[in-house]
Amino acid sequence: MSENGNVRGNERKASTGLSMIAATLRRAAAFSLAEPELLGLDQLVGPGDTCFDIGAAYGMYSFALADLVGGNGSVHSFEPQRKPHGVLGAGRRLGGVGHLRPERAGMGREPGTSHLRLPVRFGLPIHGHAHVGDSADERRRPTWWSHTRSLPTAIHSVDEIREQRSIERVHFMKVDVEGFEPNVVEGARDTIAEHRPALLLEIEDRHLSRYDTTAAEFTRSLREHGYTMYTWRRPRWVRTERVLPETRNYLFATDQNWRHHRTA
């Protein structure tokens, strides 16, 4: 077989591996075993797009987005925790997803270093509740946490990464960082002003209060930037005016962000 034939074979294998991962995630979302918003990503993201997955964890959104953007697009994923980042990297290698770029780092308002607070219960780390914080945060921890571990972590900003990697346009950003979302958005102010990407954000007062802000304040600031807020109500995104107790994830989009489906 020729060298070109080997390359094409490897590309097909990689594409098949990623498609299988993404299809599994979509099926899980359909049965509420993964975040339901995965089912609405194709209304916002398509071939050739550039996406950021901030607070990527084990890669649930990263792989779904990588499948949608294809080899001509890119997904830039950021996860500061060693174990989730390791799983994400292993999945990238197994799936042959060369256009997925995972980095072990946090994201915030500006580049620097900080500490990640990793909750522990019964001796086991609770990776899904890790968050950027300081020593004072330990005094405000939920009673069901035994304690938290403090882990030094590098912090980048979206604007910094965009410049470093010469990214021409950002189309979509997903941010799930346990209340640190406003800081990440502030670190993307130039990107948001110039590119107007769609933003899928976790917004909960219980997490935002850790950083002395509220859901109402945060969503108001995004509306002032010309965004409309939506929630996912299968099979479409539905406009909403306020954050609801039963809903964690909210989409902020402009008319230019929609690819082909209409919203309610």
Domains of the chain by range and CATH?
3-107+157-257 (3.40.50.150)
Work out whether the CA dihedral 39, 194, 160, 155 comes out positive or negative.
Answer: negative
Q: Kindly give, in sequence order, each residue whose CB lies less than 8 Å from that of residue 193, ignoring residues fewer than 6 positions away.
A: 225
Q: Kindly give, in sequence order, each residue whose CB lies less than 8 Å from that of residue 86, ignoring residues fewer than 6 positions away.
A: none
* Confidence grade of residue 131 (pLDDT, cut at 50, 70, 90): confident
Q: Can you give the three-state secondary structure of 16-61, one letter per residue? A: HHHHHHHHHHHHHHHCCCCCHHHHHHHHCCCCCCEEEEECCCCCHH
Q: CA of 27: how far to CAs of 31, 32, 35, 100, in Å? A: 7, 9, 11, 21
- Tens-place pLDDT, residues 64-115: 999 999 999 999 999 999 999 999 999 999 889 999 999 999 999 999 999 9
Per-residue exposure over 57-80, b if at least 16 CB sit within 10 Å of its own CB, e if not: bbbbbbbbbbbbbeeebbbbbbbb
Evaluate if pTM is beyond 0.85.
yes
Phi (first) and psi of residue 165, to 5 degrees: -95, 5
- The span from the CA of 119 to the CA of 129, in Å, is 7
Pairing of strands 106-107, 147-156: parallel
- Tens-place pLDDT, residues 143-175: 556 577 888 999 999 999 999 999 999 999 999
